[in-house]
Amino acid sequence: MPTPTAEQIRQADKLQEARQSVKKNPIKKIKEVAEALSLGQYFNPFIDWLYGIALSLAILKDILDLAMIGSLPGIGSIITAMISITIGFIMFITGSSSNKRMAKSIFKRYGTILIGSLLELVFGINFLPIETCIVIIVFYLTLKERQQIAVEKQQLKESYA
């Protein structure tokens, strides 16, 4: 049997190291995914109950669309506008932005509602539960923003400690 060269030994060592790191990484990856999915800890029951109202209004609006009441040209547009304005007002009340990211966050949230509202005005598409999905997306964005703010605060604490 031929003796291995220095290059082959180095490659074998790298392979062994890679195999050991693969064994450790899945646990680390699972922890990272669990932390990303644990947005529930950023739920604030004193303010976020308003999203329940927004979600209820969005579901009501989508039911009216299915019942053809929301599909009537004048009535449907008024209902869509009123519910979108109400959801926007709820977002304004529950806004957690208080830093330099505020403008970007406001653009994301209100842009999402504006796009959803415009889609609701298109006949045929308005039968889809777009408004309900929009409220869920906006609530997710709010929780994600709170998570990012908490991580930044934790990093600041660690850097000053």
Rounded to an integer, what distance in angstroms lies between the CA atom of residue 69 and that of residue 133?
Answer: 20
Length of the chain: 161
pLDDT band at 24 (very low <50, low <70, confident <90, very high): low
Whether this prediction's pTM lies above 0.85 is answered by: no
- pLDDT value of position 146: 81
Helix (H) or strand (E) holding 12: helix 6-37
> Can you say how many angstroms the Cα of residue 108 is from the centroid of all Cα atoms in its chain?
10
Rounded to an integer, what distance in angstroms lies between the CA atom of residue 107 and that of residue 115?
Answer: 11
SS3 call for 40: helix
Per the prediction, the chain carries an average pLDDT of 76
Helix (H) or strand (E) holding 76: helix 73-94
pLDDT one-digit tens code per residue, 38-97:
777 777 778 878 888 989 988 988 888 888 776 677 887 788 788 888 887 887 777 645
Give the whole-number percent of the chain exceeding pLDDT 70. 80
Both tokens of 112, joined, read: 């999402």
How far CA 134 is from CA of 16, 38, 48, 58, 121, in Å, comes to: 48, 21, 16, 9, 14
Q: Contact 71/126 with Cβ under 8 angstroms?
A: yes
Nearest in space to 43 (alpha carbons), one of 136, 143, 135, 150: 143
pLDDT at 33 over 80: no
pLDDT at 122 over 80: no
- pLDDT value of position 35: 67
